[in-house]
Amino acid sequence: MDVAELVTNELVAAYSRDGAVCLRGAFGPEWIATLTTGIERNIAEPSDRSRFWDRDADGRTTFYDSQSWLHIPEYRDFAFRSDMAGIAGRLMEVEAVNFFFDAVFVRSAGTRFRTPFHQDEPYWSVEGFETCSAWMPLVPVAKVSALELVRGSHRWPAFRQIDWGSVNGDTRDQVVYDDGDDRSPFPDIEGDRDSYEILSWDMEPGDVVVFNGRMVHGGSGNLAPDRDLKVFNTQWLGDDVRVLFRPEGMSPDHSAAMTAAGLSSGDRIGTDLYPQLWRREPTPV
Ligand SMILES: O=C(O)CCC(=O)C(=O)O
């Protein structure tokens, strides 16, 4: 389907207002098969950035890996050849889109572990309003087990985020703010769910939730005993994004890779590591 047909003006307006939209049937069965092969390859060949976010007493796991397009050809293919970059560009209403990284969240059947509510962009090695993530389940997922997003929260201030290192026990994800940091503590969404408008959807393979990097989101998990969940996720960067190395720590921390690629805080994103994969076509005069 043509991107302009899929991403209607109504969806562009809803993305700007709510911070997230669910696109139905955005990707056909070929992409789902390609990415499923990719995830299988990725589990067999994890990168040194992979970790288990959770492993419960019954051995059920939540596996995570990121920036694996560097060694998984199926992910690279999707990033470079699918319509995802154009979808991101149209929803963010920007002139150009760079690919940031991919991430996978693979939960074994029956996993209960839910990702705590958080915002993404305050953890990243970049800063900007024009960022988005595309959360794409490769298997059917019930609303109760899908990603949850707090409507309109992309326009809230950035809060102090929780320390991922204390959630998954991995020091690479440690994020610790100075006592003098003036950001407010993260609101207790889970403890006060009725006070927020929480968006989530029953989803089929091919559907994708695209959300602004500042959206408060979390969830997944809560799986029925016979259901697993394989999610392929990509992150995209628009015009106002600049590199930012954060003193409190980053997750995933790209500062070493960015420095090696010649990028420093304040730079426009680019290089072969963060390729520009879409540009708006000039309007004919
Ligand atoms: O699927 C999940 O558990 C979490 C997803 C998430 O936090 C994200 O896509 O940024």
Residue 65, pLDDT > 90, answer yes
> How large is the average pLDDT for residues 185-203?
97
Q: What is the pLDDT of residues 203-254, one digit of tens each?
A: 999 999 999 999 999 999 999 999 999 999 999 999 999 999 999 999 999 9
Residue 1, pLDDT > 80, answer no
Inter-helix orientation angle 84-92/73-81, to 10°: 50
Question: What is the homologous superfamily of the domain 3-277 according to CATH?
Answer: q2cbj1_9rhob like domain (2.60.120.620)
- Centroid of ligand 1 to alpha carbon of 165 (angstroms): 16
Counting atoms of ligand 1 from 1, which one is nearest the CA of 107?
3
Counting atoms of ligand 1 from 1, which one is nearest the CA of 114?
3
On whether the CB atoms of residues 24 and 205 are closer than 8 A, the answer is: no
DSSP annotation of 60 reads -
Pocket of ligand 1 (CB under 6 A): 105, 115, 120, 133, 135, 147, 217, 220, 231, 233
Domain boundaries, the chain: 3-277
Looking at ligand 1, which residue's alpha carbon is closest to its atom 6?
Answer: 218
**Average pLDDT of the chain to the nearest whole number:** 96
Confidence label for 120 from pLDDT (cuts 50, 70 and 90): very high
Residue 283, pLDDT > 90, answer no
- Centroid of ligand 1 to alpha carbon of 112 (angstroms): 14
| pLDDT value of position 216 | 98
| pLDDT value of position 226 | 96
Q: Which one of 148, 189, 214, 217 would you pick to mutate in the ligand 1 pocket, going by the greatest count of ligand atoms within 8 A of its CB?
A: 217
- Centroid of ligand 1 to alpha carbon of 178 (angstroms): 26
Q: The tokens of 13 are what? A: 């307006």
Non-local (6+) Cβ contacts of 235 within 8 A are 99, 100, 101, 102, 103, 120, 124, 131, 132, 133, 134, 213
Residues in the chain: 285
Confidence label for 284 from pLDDT (cuts 50, 70 and 90): confident
- Centroid of ligand 1 to alpha carbon of 231 (angstroms): 8
| pLDDT value of position 158 | 84
> How large is the average pLDDT for residues 139-163?
96
Using only the alpha carbons of the chain, give its radius of gyration.
Answer: 18
Counting atoms of ligand 1 from 1, which one is nearest the CA of 220?
3
Q: Which one of 63, 65, 114, 115 would you pick to mutate in the ligand 1 pocket, going by the greatest count of ligand atoms within 8 A of its CB?
A: 115
Q: Which one of 22, 119, 133, 135 would you pick to mutate in the ligand 1 pocket, going by the greatest count of ligand atoms within 8 A of its CB?
A: 135
Residue 163, pLDDT > 80, answer yes
Q: What is the pLDDT of residues 31-45, one digit of tens each?
A: 999 999 999 999 999
- Centroid of ligand 1 to alpha carbon of 70 (angstroms): 20
- Centroid of ligand 1 to alpha carbon of 62 (angstroms): 11
Residue 90, pLDDT > 80, answer yes
| pLDDT value of position 285 | 79
